[in-house]
Amino acid sequence: MVLLNASYEPLGTVTFQHAVRMLVREVAIVEQAHDERRVGPHPWPLVIRLVRYVAARWMYRTAAYSRASVLIRDGHTCAYCGAHATTVDHLLPQSRGGRWTWLNTVAACRGCNGRKADRTPSEAGMRLRVTPYEPTRAQLLEMRGR
């Protein structure tokens, strides 16, 4: 269930049970509901919005790194050919000291990942279509919603 700040910016997701507790405590209201279902006096929530604004500074810190987050950051698009990406490729291969970091990894399709193998993109003669960056939690949340 999507949770919005009072300013309508997305804050994240909450479980159904947590959403109902927030409605009962009147710290949130239903923004979008299932038309035919109800939970007590409330419509069945799909999207809820906080009544008061919460300063979410933590949303603008660098997001936690994960393989899934790299794929989300890059839109599941191969950084080399633009095809659908299902793997993560290290720009500096792990065998040469490359780390699992935002700036050293990009999304890649299986074909390009295999073709690049244990080389840097320049050694493999492959040009990056994107520049890796460190996204914030808010950016990832926005990208996940697309």
> What pLDDT is attached to residue 35?
84
Predicted TM-score (pTM) of the model is: 0.66
Provide the residue type at 68 as one letter: A
Integer angstrom CA distances of residue 44 from 20, 30, 31, 109, 117: 9, 8, 10, 40, 50
**Residue 146 confidence (pLDDT) above 70:** no
Q: What would the pLDDT profile of 9-65 be if each residue is shown by its tens digit?
A: 888 889 999 999 999 999 999 999 988 898 888 899 999 999 999 887 777 889 999
Name the residue among 17, 18, 13 with its Cα closest to residue 1. Answer: 13
How large a percentage of the chain has pLDDT more than 70?
99
Read off the tokens for 51: 């009544």
Name the residue among 144, 135, 4 with its Cα closest to residue 61. Answer: 135
> What pLDDT is attached to residue 28?
96
Confidence of residue 89 (pLDDT cuts 50, 70, 90): very high
Minimum mean pLDDT range among 40-44, 88-92, 131-135: 40-44
CB 91 within 8 A of CB 126: no
> What pLDDT is attached to residue 54?
87
66: Cα within 13 Å, side-chain hemisphere:
7
The span from the CA of 15 to the CA of 60, in Å, is 23
H/E stretch holding 82 reads none
Q: Domains (ranges, CATH) in the chain?
A: 2-55 (no CATH), 62-145 (1.10.30)
Compute the average pLDDT of residues 101-107.
98
